[in-house]
Amino acid sequence: MLSGKNVILTGSAGGIGKKTLKALAENGANIWACARKPTKEFEIYIDELKKKYNVQIVPVYFDFQDEQQIKEAVKFIRSQKKTVDGLVNNAGMTYNALFQMTSIEKMREVFEINFFGQFIFTQYVVKLMMRQKSGSIINIGSSAALDGNSGRSIYGASKAAILCITKSLSEELSSYNIRVNAIAPGITDTNMVEASMTEEVILETINNTKLKRIGKPDEIANAILFYVSDFSSYVTGQILRVDGGLG
């Protein structure tokens, strides 16, 4: 499905990221696996995928709150002298708190990681795609960006910014044969969700979901796979909700 394609995946070490990394590898893609910092567990996981699927996976470590690190990461990717066929902007942080209880410092942190860092990173990667006149960019938003959930105003706003950028970039980059789409996951079974949401809130959200269950990281990864592949060659500027029918 992705044989011969080279894909940049941010947030590779997280719940959705690891499953996406696996989905890309088992479908033949070579991957720049971006994460904030190295861990033994992540390095072992990469080695296992490389051996099992006979693909190249190169870890790239940088912090989205550090613009210099972002520049160095793209410089390294560019030095590999390969086409960049896909960019999956999956990295991010979650945050739940009432608007009145949220400090400006926390607002800035959420936007630095969820929006500004990804904005800068994408700007640099887009230059590589424009030269080759091809590419697919997939931004990971959230159902919170569309639904305006209580306690998720700041997180939702940061993801709404990502969705807006998706629409605008799909217009700006269409003449370069670069497609830009987004995925808006609902509640998904990851450590990040467990750490940021109480069991009561999780159950309430599940009850508001038509399929009456929490999403699996594999299900988000499969949607990402569709957008990276040529199966979505005539799709751009779209936001795909993968939320089990939330709302």
Rounded distance between C-alpha atoms, residue 239 and residue 166, angstroms:
8
The catalytic residue among 45, 53, 61, 155 is 155
Measured from the Cβ of residue 85, the count of other Cβ atoms closer than 10 Å reads 21
Nearest residue to 143 (alpha-carbon basis) of 208, 196, 87? 208
Question: Token digits for 163?
Answer: 């969705």
Q: What is the 3-state secondary structure (H, E, C) of 64-89?
A: CCCHHHHHHHHHHHHHCCCCCCEEEE
Give me the phi and psi of 66, to 5 degrees please.
Answer: -125, 105
Q: Confirm whether 155 is a catalytic residue.
A: yes
Positions marked catalytic: 155
